[in-house]
Amino acid sequence: MENFIQIRKHAALKVIRQNSVFGSLTSSQKLELESVLHHQTVQANEILWKKGDIPEFALLIYNGTIEVTYDNAEYTEDEDNTDEFSHGIFISETKTMLENSKCKLTLKALTDCSLFIVKKPDYLRFLSNNPKLLINLSLTNIVE
């Protein structure tokens, strides 16, 4: 219960509503998602996960900027393989979590960040309760 109060205090529901995918969830689905979120702060330059790690969580950015570096195999030397994301963006390696395989992305906090984290077991349980969302999120790593 204390976690739920802490999450409410940090306006998780507002961020959920602003996300293009989560904003279209039903009220009960939003409440279910909110109930599994944990607030976490990270310092600038902290690596959240790197390519080759086993993913243990997904995240929703409350504030700050996260740099995502993509698998170099998909880019030529002349192409930029990084993007920056901020408020309201959800980042996960859903397919990787489902397959229990290794991350293809590296995430680094460019600034001090406030995040809503959902741990892998809670995230997979939430997705199993919401199969349409599972399909959508397994097709992408970034949801604006």
Say if residue 80's pLDDT is above 80.
no
Sorting pLDDT into bands at 50, 70 and 90, what band is 140? confident
pLDDT tens track for 11-52: 888 899 999 999 999 999 999 999 999 999 999 999 999 999
Eight-class DSSP state of 43: -
Q: Which residues contact 131 (CB under 8 A, 6 or more apart)?
A: none
Sorting pLDDT into bands at 50, 70 and 90, what band is 76? very low
Average the pLDDT over 94-111 and give the result: 94
Average the pLDDT over 86-98 and give the result: 95
Identify which of 39, 50, 48, 84 has the alpha carbon closest to the alpha carbon of residue 64: 84
- 38: which 2 tokens? 């944990």
Residue-range domains of the chain with CATH? 2-143 (2.60.120.10)
CB 3 within 8 A of CB 112: no
Answer whether 0.75 is exceeded by the pTM: yes
Sorting pLDDT into bands at 50, 70 and 90, what band is 71? confident
**Cα(55)–Cα(53) distance, rounded to whole angstroms?**
6
Neighbour count for residue 103 (Cβ, 10 Å): 19
CB 98 within 8 A of CB 104: no
Task: Give the three-state DSSP class for 1.
Answer: coil
Say if residue 93's pLDDT is above 60.
yes
Say if residue 81's pLDDT is above 60.
yes
What does DSSP say about strands 90-91 and 142-143: parallel, antiparallel, or unpaired?
A: antiparallel
